[in-house]
Amino acid sequence: MQIDRLSLENFRNYTRQELFFDPVCNVIFGENAQGKTNLLEAVQYLSCGRSNRAKSDRELIGFQAENAVLVGNIFSRNRDFVLRTELYREKRRKLWVNKVPSKTASDLSQVFQTVFFCPEDLLLIRDGAAARRRFLDNALCQLRPRYAAALAAYRRAYAHKTRILRDCEEQRDLLDTLPEFNERLIQSGAVVIHYRAQFTKKLAAIAAANHADCSGGKEHLSVVYKTVSTIQNPLEDIPALTQQFRAHMEAHRSAELASRLCLSGPHKDDLLVEIDGRDAKTYSSQGQTRTAALSLKLAEREIYQNVTGEAPILLLDDVLSELDPRRQEFVLNRIAGGQVFITCCEDDRLPVLLGGRVFHIFAGQATE
Ligand code: ATP
Ligand code: MG
């Protein structure tokens, strides 16, 4: 799959821009704060309807503008697609796939996928569990529409249940609706757990191989999925997981009512990442952290490729500048096999190394 053309209107610091990309490699270079990351962000947004650094769509609209328009011409599954999104300050965004209005971002993910790697991804290893859940959710929402639907249902049920538990003291009759939302939480939660467990199993194997390669076989990376304690084997089928999750919820019912909080469920899931048997969050060095994060992201890309038969577009933001030559070489060897966008600083030797199309970005303007 590839993006052949991108047109931006009032997206971040791009007022008006049209770009035609190379099917293999696109190097984006320029000084700081010119719009390199913004360009990758636009490609990411078109692939999944979200950006990993913007909290709301409004942030993406040019400071002086009322709305932003992104259009991408994508070639995927042997067909041409035109994706269009319009973002507004005051109302909901609009999405189109081949001129057909679309309600959900999963429709975009059906067309093409991206894997974004940026320096902040080190937080994937270092931060709390929320960062790792975000990684799982972002990967799975693009890959599995059923997961995206289950996650949305889970979040809705969770929000309702939280409100019921919070307000039930004042409004006793709210408790009558609790079983219904609990059941929704259980049904959707079991699907979420199932997909996360399956994905982590594949991820762990590929990421471990990547990490071993990158560290010259010196280090072993292990990734284990952690979910609610009573589920012994999250790889079981959905009916079995539903039953176990229901039993878990029943066992926690009185504790939840007493604390008036949703105590446990996949909203607390985590990935335990270890290097040579030690928790990477606590003990890994900077280099190890970087290698582990990169190994996970490259594994994500490989899983997409195995599932869809096509490599997702790889967006690498400022990654090489942080790596030593050995690891740089590892990355450059690994990125072949799909369309890649890679940003680098003004005087980097990367454009010469990689070939493909080279774009120079200056103040929200790209020139080849
Ligand atoms: P660096 O090398 O430092 O990573 P960069 O080229 O990746 O820089 P970007 O992150 O793409 O830089 O941002 C470029 C500029 O876009 C910033 O100066 C920022 O102020 C500006 N910018 C961000 N959001 C908006 C917006 N909504 N409207 C206009 N400009 C914006
Ligand atoms: Mg940047």
pLDDT digits (tens, 9 = 90+) for 342-354: 998 866 666 666 7
Report which secondary-structure segment, H or E, holds 159: helix 145-167
Q: Answer yes or no: is the C-beta of 35 below 6 A from any ligand 1 atom.
A: yes
Index of the ligand 1 atom closest to the CA of residue 39: 11
pLDDT score at 347:
63
Give φ, ψ of 26 to 5 degrees: -130, 120
What per-residue confidence (pLDDT) applies to 199? 97
Q: Residue 8: CB within 6 Å of ligand 1?
A: no
Cβ–ligand 1 contact at 33 (below 6 Å) = yes
pLDDT of residue 351: 63
Q: What is the mean pLDDT of residues 326-348?
A: 81
Sequence-separated (6 or more) residues with CB below 8 Å from residue 76: 1, 2, 111, 112, 310
Cα 36 to ligand 1 centre (Å): 8
Is the CB of 64 inside a 6 Å radius of any atom of ligand 1? no
Task: Name the residue of 28, 38, 45, 317 to mutate for ligand 1: max ligand atoms within 8 A of Cβ.
Answer: 38
Alpha-carbon Rg for the chain, nearest whole angstrom, is: 22
Confidence grade of residue 325 (pLDDT, cut at 50, 70, 90) = confident
What is the Cβ-side half-sphere exposure of residue 355, based on CA atoms within 13 angstroms?
A: 3
Between the CA of 14 and the centroid of ligand 2 the distance, in Å, is 14
Total-model pTM: 0.84
CA 112 to centroid of ligand 1, rounded, Å: 25
Q: What is the atom index within ligand 1 of the atom nearest the CA of 30?
A: 6
How many of the other CB atoms lie within 10 Å of CB of 159? 12
Q: How confident is the model at residue 246 (pLDDT cuts 50, 70, 90)?
A: very high
Identify the residue with better confidence: 286 or 179: 179
C-alpha angle 225-230-231 in degrees, rounded to nearest 5: 45
Q: Which atom of ligand 1 approaches the CA of 10 most closely?
A: 28
Percentage of the chain lying above the pLDDT 70 cut:
97
End-to-end CA separation in angstroms for the chain: 22
pLDDT tens sequence across 248-281: 999 999 999 899 999 989 999 999 999 999 999 9
Q: What is the pLDDT of residues 150-184, one digit of tens each?
A: 999 999 999 999 999 999 888 888 889 999 999 99
Closest alpha carbon to 344 in 320, 311, 324, 363: 320
